[in-house]
Amino acid sequence: MKATGRSRALDAYEIRIVKKLAKSPMIYACSLVSDHAAIRRAQSLTEDGDLVEVWRGLDCVYSSGIESRGTARSA
């Protein structure tokens, strides 16, 4: 197959998820086209009450549920 001129470079992301009852995080590594795509992927892997962070290199691009497990927060 021939590559098109509109191909985009992929960024490497790390998605860290701590389940409600787990002590250690699950870590997913993936290559995606944007921060938004990485955040959507992280959201598809989580359940209510999970803590999640999405990292691109040394930059945390998204976190949810980190402030307090007892406080409701919309993402």
The upper half-sphere exposure of residue 67, i.e. CA atoms within 13 Å in the direction of its Cβ, equals: 8
Inter-residue contact 65 to 51 (CB < 8 Å): yes
Show the CA angle centred on residue 14, arms to residues 55 and 30, nearest 5°.
130
For the chain, 75 residues long, give each residue's pLDDT as a single digit of tens: 455 556 678 999 999 999 888 778 899 999 999 999 999 999 999 988 899 999 999 999 999 976 544 444 444
User: pTM (2 decimals)?
Assistant: 0.74
